[in-house]
Structure 1
Amino acid sequence: MIKTKRVYEPKEETDGLRILVDRLWPRGIKKDKIDLWLKDIAPSDEIRKFYHESKDFEAFKKKYIEELKEKDTKELLELAKQNTITLLYASKEPQNNAVVLKEYLDWILEKQK
């Protein structure tokens, strides 16, 4: 099972493995609040800047999914098959890279059934 959660929300047992999927470490967060940091799975600076400037989530989503197709997601997929994982993000926006990543991983897992 894959979940998403803002990194500033309290840690819960139901989170399972807590994985930060942002390129930058969030301010004020101690390392013991996160189990794994996969900064390379985050959107490139180019796509991140595009989204911050345009606020076009659908275009951001398409660009990020194209990037994800080129990235190694095997580790995340294996973890999701074995455990509950929670993809952590710092953004205050409900539409963010973790949501896109979750949707992409869920799609791959569904295809593998």
Structure 2
Amino acid sequence: MIVCKRVYLPAMPEDGFRVLVDRLWPRGCSKAGLQLDAWLRELAPSNALRQAFAHDPEHFAEFRCAYRDELATLPTQWRPLLERARHGTLTLLYAAHDEQLNNARVLAEFLDEQLALPAPGDCAAEESR
């Protein structure tokens, strides 16, 4: 299961594996005080894409498409997250104010779609073709 959560909300046991998916460290959070299991800044949108979006809702559709294109080129970064999501809760942490129009939601959508695909080397999926 994949969940998105603002980094400023308290950590809960049901969060499972907590991953910060922003390129920049969140304002007001100390590195010692933030409870997370990983910071995957390489998986965040590129600086150019992040700056072009600027959290403007009018640019979200374009941002979403461009970010998904970037994600498609980074399978070694996101594939390990699929295993976490298959076997427990994966919580994607983000700092954006908008709880719907942000990179973590796009990443969660992308990962959910990858989870729906047959895993490489899945014999049952191969036989059903």
Q: Counterparts in 2 of 1:27-106, with a 5 A limit? A: 27-31=27-31, 32-52=34-54, 55=57, 56-72=59-75, 73-94=78-99, 95-106=101-112
TM-score (structure 2 length as normaliser): 0.81
Counterpart of 2:113 in structure 1 is 107
TM-score (structure 1 length as normaliser): 0.92
Count, aligned residues: 113
- Alpha-carbon RMSD across the aligned residues, in angstroms, is 1.6
Going from structure 1 to structure 2, the CA distance change for 1:54 and 1:93 (only over 3 Å counts) comes to closer
Shift of residue 78, structure 1, vs aligned partner: 1.5
Q: Which runs of 5+ in 1 are unaligned?
A: none
Higher Rg of the two aligned structures: 2
Counterpart of 2:21 in structure 1 is 21
Going from structure 1 to structure 2, the CA distance change for 1:63 and 1:34 (only over 3 Å counts) comes to same
Is contact 2:55–2:102 with CA below 8 Å preserved after alignment? no
Q: Which moved more, 1:56-65 or 1:73-82?
A: 73-82
Distance 2:87 2:38 in 1: 15
Tell me the percent identity.
Answer: 45
Distance 1:54 1:20 in 2: 21
Secondary structure (helix, strand or coil) at the match of 2:4 reads strand
Q: Which moved more, 1:8-17 or 1:48-57?
A: 48-57
Q: Which runs of 5+ in 2 are unaligned?
A: 120-129
Runs of at least 4 residues off by over 6 Å: none
